[in-house]
Amino acid sequence: MASKLLRQTLTKTNRTAAIRCFFTAASVASPSEYEYPTGITMKGVKISGRPLYLDMQATTPVDPRVLDSMLPFYLSRYGNPHSRTHLYGWESETAVETARAQVAALIGASPKEVVFTSGATESNNISIKGVMHFYKDKKRHIITTQTEHKCVLDSCRHLQQEGFEVTYLPVGSDGLIDLDTLGKEIRPDTGLVSVMAVNNEIGVVQPVEEIGKICKEFNVPFHTDAAQALGKIKVDVEKWNVSLMSLSGHKIYGPKGVGALYLRRRPRIRVEPQMNGGGQERGIRSGTVPTPLVVGMGAACELAMKEMEYDENRIKGLQERLLNGIREKIDGVLVNGSMDRRYVGNLNLSFAYVEGESLLMGLKEVAVSSGSACTSASLEPSYVLRALGVDEDMAHTSIRFGIGRFTTEEEIDRAVELTVKQVEKLREMSPLYEMVKEGIDIKQIQWAQH
């Protein structure tokens, strides 16, 4: 359906111009081949064409096959899935339940344990606030980490304002928690342990299976934010022993605005709903289920199940090409987070003697970020990198490269070329780098204060 609509569009417009709009500026070898007649200007920034996209942790493009599955539920099968008196409602309900089964299959769960939400942020809020509010008479303590997504940290701070106690576990320089420390922090009144499976900024994979075993030993519910893990690494709710898991559609080439919450049935975990309404999704998440979005998420999960291994091997090659390409040309490049326990599509690098904001602004032809999209408006260094013990000046220079299913070798090569060029340009203007090249240890310099 999507490809048919695209063909119809191309017959009505200039074919070359229409196809060009899907190109990324940096994926073409010669600048003259991708320059727009007048360029693109947005938010005061002018570039010759659309930048190449390497920000896959922020969001992924919708897979055309996912879009194909969604379109009928916008155009002809538009019934409310909760309408039980006619065909339109029945077919939408069937589609929703099929999608529920597709999501469940990818994580090794029962479809009855999957609740659809608006995204991982809502799922995290339901998990953390919902569990602690339900068991508030006996459980007043929650454990999480210093490097969680902002919505988890803010939910915990909200509970602190209500009188709950929160322990924020530190992480090592590799971004991983210490399992012995976790075991020591669990108390009789601990109501939940919440640890992200794959970190959104640095891509490290926490030892979730081992965390699950500790939580099972102490009979404490375990919640994990798996938005960055779903469809990228093998997820198994039984092996991980999770009680709750937050999932997102737009991180796995599905649509924005939809997510899911895994809620274990045996042993049963209970939550207090965060929203009141018509009692949809077993009363846990009231509101009309958006059929097209849910269908899209289900299709994305089914594709991920089939193609995860292929995607991982291909993306791993692209990540190595990117890292080796940069390190062969410039020094002072630091990989943030563990390289051994890492999702291959996330490469977070810091560049010594370079000012971070200047580097980002100089990379106008590459869509990358300096950290989480939810905190990118802040000029403060990443709290995740600070938790790793990264020096403030290096934390300020971090760039997160996100590689995905549709990233090409040409785009990686272009990203290497542009990144190296910009880093070298900024270092030429850096007096600190000049001093380092002359053999001066700048850490031993006593700077005068004025």
Active site residues: 374
H/E segment holding residue 204: none
State the pairing for strand pair 40-42/346-351.
unpaired
In the numeric block, which tokens belong to residue 375? 């905190």
Whether 243 and 128 have beta carbons less than 8 Å apart is answered as no
Q: Rounded to whole angstroms, how far apart are CA atoms 203 and 315? A: 13
Classify 253 as helix, strand or coil: coil
What span, in angstroms and rounded, lies between the C-alpha atoms of 340 and 349? 15
Residues 215 and 269: beta-carbon distance below 8 Å: no
DSSP 50: P
Find the helix packing angle between 150-161 and 120-134, rounded to 10°.
Answer: 30
SS3 165: strand
Residue 25 per-residue DSSP state: G
Which residues in 162-183 are b (16+ Cβ under 10 Å) and which e?
Answer: eebebbebebeeebbbeeeebe
The 3-state DSSP composition of the chain as helix, strand, coil percent (nearest 5) reads 45, 15, 45
How far CA 303 is from CA of 101, 343, 359, in Å, comes to 13, 19, 36
Q: For residue 205, give the DSSP letter.
A: B
Strand pairing category for 52-53 and 333-335: unpaired
Cβ(174)–Cβ(204) under 8 Å? Answer: yes
Token pair, residue 18, equals 């229409």
Within 8 A by CB and 6+ apart from 228, the residues are 57, 196, 197, 198, 199, 200, 203, 251, 343, 346
Q: Is residue 181 helix, strand or coil?
A: helix
H or E element that contains 334: strand 333-335
Cite the beta strand spans of 170-263 per DSSP E. Answer: 190-194, 222-225, 244-248, 259-263
If you ran DSSP here, which 8-state letter would residue 384 be given?
Answer: H
Instruction: Decide: 27 and 411 in contact? Cβ < 8 Å.
Output: yes
